[in-house]
Amino acid sequence: DQQVKQNSPSLSVQEGRISILNCDYTNSMFDYFLWYKKYPAEGPTFLISISSIKDKNEDGRFTVFLNKSAKHLSLHIVPSQPGDSAVYFCAASHSNYQLIWGAGTKLIIKP
């Protein structure tokens, strides 16, 4: 049973517009959430994270929102750029170093 779900395998967005990637989880014990970005033939790289005690974290063009009551988080990228085209993974942890990963969403930024 997947504890972290990314229900959209792919997403296509026009350059300059907002990209919104979604992630749902089932385990209410998760206390930390992370987003990773992955280019082909490379390992995932850390993008942004949020603690469960917060509902928003912002870093430049990237903002993560956490809705604990809905067990939902989202990553907003504004404005979207061609270099943002990649696979985005949502991951979660509960009080330890182990991460539970979603299946990923492939983001395509159209020029």
Partner 1 sequence: DAGITQSPRYKITETGRQVTLMCHQTWSHSYMFWYRQDLGHGLRLIYYSAAADITDKGEVPDGYVVSRSKTENFPLTLESATRSQTSVYFCASTLKRGSSYNEQFFGPGTRLTVL
Binding site for partner 1 (CB under 8 A): 4, 6, 32, 34, 41-46, 49, 51, 89, 91, 93, 96-99, 101-104
Identity of residue 107:
L
**Nearest approach, Cβ of 93 to partner 1 (angstroms)?**
6
Do 79 and 16 form a contact (C-beta atoms < 8 A)? yes
Residue 24 is given by DSSP the state E
Q: In this complex, which beta carbon is closest to partner 1, that of residue 14 or of residue 45?
A: 45
* Residue given tokens 């603690």 in the structure block: 51
Do 6 and 104 form a contact (C-beta atoms < 8 A)? yes
**Nearest approach, Cβ of 89 to partner 1 (angstroms)?**
6
**Nearest approach, Cβ of 44 to partner 1 (angstroms)?**
5
